[in-house]
Amino acid sequence: MTDTALPAPSRGLVTRALDVVERVGNKLPDPAVLFLLLMFAAWAVSWALSGVTFSELDPRTGQPIAIKNLLAGESITAFFATMVATFTSFPPLGVVLVAMLGLGVAEHTGFINAVLRGAMAITPRMLLTPALIAVGILSHIAVDAGYVLVIPLGAVIFYAAGRHPLAGIAAAFAGVSGGFSATMGIPSSLDPLLAGLTQTAAHLVDPSVTVNPLNNFYFTTASSALIILVGWALTDLYIEPRLKATAVDGDPAELPTQDPLQPHEKRGIGVAFAVMAAAIGLFALSLVSPESPWRGPADAEGVRALMVANAPVMQSIVALIFVFFLLPGIAYGVAAGTVKNHRDVVQGMSKAMSGMGYYIVMAFFCAQFIYAFGQSNLGALLAIKGANALREMGLPLGVTLAGIVLLTASVNLLVGSASAKWALIGSIMVPMLMQLGVSPDLTQAAYRVGDSSTNIITPLLPYFPLIVVFCRKYVKGTGIGTLVALMLPYSITLIVTWTGFLMLFWALGLPLGVGATYEYVPPAG
């Protein structure tokens, strides 16, 4: 059999740089251990700087900022006394786990898988690419489910349509991972996770800041159109023509097929959507009344608004995600026969939680690091000094935002976890830019652009080896370098166009999300 693998990427500057990144990245410790080491580093630096006098003023107190020695006896005992509370009160922990309880049931019963297959089955051939990318973006409601459902499904769909399966994988990968921060009008668990970390970072400067879980929702929803158009053009005009010379040499007997929806699955989808529509309708009716308990306290004019941070509906976003996926998941399971009794529902929740074991471990160490970092005042010191340096440089805000995007993209090549990256970068960038009047909402949006744009080219993405395995089912010689070369055009194009899109949003003053602002104004007094 002749070798039909994709041609090896050229040993150019980009390829050599990626080789270095891969070698260095593979030597980094696990993110959980990385946070532990960073916590020890914070302890050591706080001890070294605790006796240094700084002229910078702490915006929280109006007094010269002082570094607290974390190795002092009182600090050590306080750390251990609050360790459990620090972990259990870690903002992203609860919100992610609660959201996953409902999403886990929807996935376990087969509801999400059936909906994705049904959507693609009725899509015209000419719209396969944009539809696949859109489904990839939509899969974010189930966190990482898109990696194991949509990406292999993309290859199946393209192969069944007589198109190159690797082009299907590339398009699906661009939607699932390249557009990871985008949304299709439905919040994902990434929204409350990042917002929780952003709020924690903002509290290093201003404890009164509240970050809405949907603070980037309008921007990320609009971004989905951009990602679909970019991915569609690149796939059909460049990627697939490049793959024409690459023969599919996988074992035909092992190639998966796109199974059509069975009658019981169609029945389950119909019942599930009916239940979801009824639930949404009843909930919408409960919001209509000016005296609805979902509304916030009355303002000076006696109006009780919905879209304010202290409104119960805004504080219930995560709980609502849980309910609105739990109900159709159960309804589908009952109608399709995948749920026989309540134990099947509980099993779905348990399975979802078992998959979150690593995240919980990482969250523990991340919470302890952020606690230590905040107690030491190191973050505030870095933020103030960084803000002063930026202020003296006088760079336009647009340049600063582009810098955040590029910084995130660079870190993304070394740290695979989205939450880990933002916990590291956000604890410095959010407070620093707040000192320059930039809101945490805008800083988070810039981070999301840089993170998503480079997800698809970093071998350190946890699912990257899995995508290589998917490719090898069709082209046996596929390697990591092959996949990087395949996805690099998407990454470069997205980071340029998406950054420009964010600048356009900012220039036009379009709302980033619910309760979001572009500017940060310190509280009076």
What digits encode the pLDDT tens for the residues 225-272? 999 999 999 999 988 888 887 788 877 666 655 678 899 999 999 999
Q: How far apart are CA 91 and CA 423, in angstroms?
A: 12
Does residue 3 carry a pLDDT above 70? no
DSSP helix/strand/coil, 57: strand
pLDDT value at residue 301: 76
pLDDT tens for 470-524 read 888 898 877 777 787 888 889 999 999 999 999 999 999 999 998 899 999 888 7
Average pLDDT over every residue of 372-379: 82
The angle formed by the CA atoms of residues 493, 440 and 79, to the nearest 5 degrees, is 120
Chain center to CA of 165: 26
- Three-state secondary structure call for residue 519: strand
Q: What is the mean pLDDT of the chain?
A: 82
Burial of 291 (0-12, 13-18, 19+ CB in 10 A): exposed
Burial 337-346 (b: 16+ CB within 10 A, else e): ebbeeeebbe
Per-state percent for the chain, helix, strand, coil, to nearest 5: 65, 0, 30
Least confident of 76-80, 104-108, 406-410, 457-461: 457-461
Domain boundaries, the chain: 13-94+123-258+358-508
Q: How many CB atoms neighbour CB 88 within 10 A?
A: 11
Per-residue pLDDT band at 290 (split at 50, 70, 90): confident
Residue that wins the pLDDT comparison between 406 and 5 = 406
Using pLDDT thresholds of 50, 70 and 90, give the confidence band for residue 184: confident
Percent of the chain predicted with pLDDT > 90: 30
For 64, phi and psi rounded to 5 degrees? Answer: -55, 135
pLDDT of residue 489: 87
pLDDT tens string 128-163: 899 999 988 987 765 566 777 788 888 888 887 778
Average pLDDT over residues 182-187: 81
Query: What are the φ/ψ torsions at residue 315 (nearest 5 degrees)?
Result: -85, -5
